[in-house]
Amino acid sequence: MRAYGFTAVGGPEHEAFLEVPEPEPGPGELLVRVRAAGVNPGDWRLREGSYGVEPPAVLGREVAGTVERLGPDVTGFAVGDEVFGGCPGMVGGFAPLARVTASFAAHRPAGVSPADAAVLPVAAGTAYDALTGLDLPPGATLLVNGAGGGVGLPVVQLAAARGITVVGIASRAKEELLRRFGAVPVVYGDGVLDRVRAAAPGGVDAVFDLVGGDSLRTVAELLTDRSRLRSVADKPLVAKLGGADVARDRSTAVLTELARLVAAGALDPHVTSVRPFDEAGAALAAVERGHEVGKVVLDLDV
């Protein structure tokens, strides 16, 4: 089958359409006829060698589609089910057929489009797991550093739905979007801590960082209890500062709840670009440049 992946570790010049064998579902896996695949920053980072995947390999870590076959020991799913979920090993989704981990898959409700469902496992799943780990009560204040990105926007919405006050640091171009999704926006730049303190005069109870580096060091100053600091952008630094990475659940239960929230109108996956499969390279390039304002999806529903 024709799939999109990479042939060597490095830059985008190593990406290509590949001819690969159709995959076989292993134990605990579904074989899914892909209708939509989410495009993530992790895809180009994988190509650059961040996750140790040896080329040639098919990119793509989250999909929505129709179950074609069940691997051994799979229960709760049947051939013909409309599902969405994550691909084992973070690879294989940019293809007409993909293996999906059954324990990290869920049924897609009729009211949730394949494009919206396809972008839930990675970004919204991380946001959900971050909030679960922080376990903030209603009325608490959460600072999201990098609130305008793929993980930031769902965490803003999910936190607001739980009655948490959200202050979101983002670019000026994302101010109105953050307000629409329930956050108090604060613009990056010099004096950002003063702007955060003005937006949250009672202080912040937790920080979720999606930027890392010096920006993470800066926002960490707002916390006296660093156990309330989380970052998925800079794991070594967050540990040094006394915080932690996000513990991922990656379960059917989490995906089912996220789909329920989308169907109920409480969570907008914010898909802003749906491209045909033939434009997989351009779609990944757009994500790598970092100029997309929402989630990018490949349409394989042909």
226-274 tens-digit pLDDT: 999 999 999 999 999 999 999 999 999 999 999 999 999 999 999 999 9
Run of H or E including 186: strand 183-187
- Given a cut of 80, is residue 135 above it in pLDDT? yes
| Helix, coil or strand: residue 197 | helix
Domains defined for the chain, CATH in brackets? 2-121+250-299 (3.90.180.10), 125-241 (3.40.50.720)
* pLDDT band, residue 159 (cuts 50/70/90): very high
Residue 101 has pLDDT above 90, yes or no: yes
List Cα–Cα distances, 203 to 91, 166, 191, in angstroms.
41, 12, 16
User: In the structure encoding, which two tokens stand for residue 45, read together?
Assistant: 């980072």
Q: What is the dihedral of CA 51, 59, 286, 294, to 10 degrees?
A: -90
292 pLDDT higher than 90: no
Q: Which of 214, 210, 248 is nearest to 229 (CA)?
A: 210
**pLDDT above 90 (res 122):** yes
Q: Is the pLDDT of residue 291 over 80?
A: no
Q: How many CA atoms lie within 13 A of 201 on its CB side?
A: 1
Q: pTM to 2 decimals?
A: 0.95
Q: Residue 207's beta-bridge partner residues?
A: 143, 229
Percent of the chain with pLDDT over 70: 100
Decide: 173 and 292 in contact? Cβ < 8 Å. Answer: no
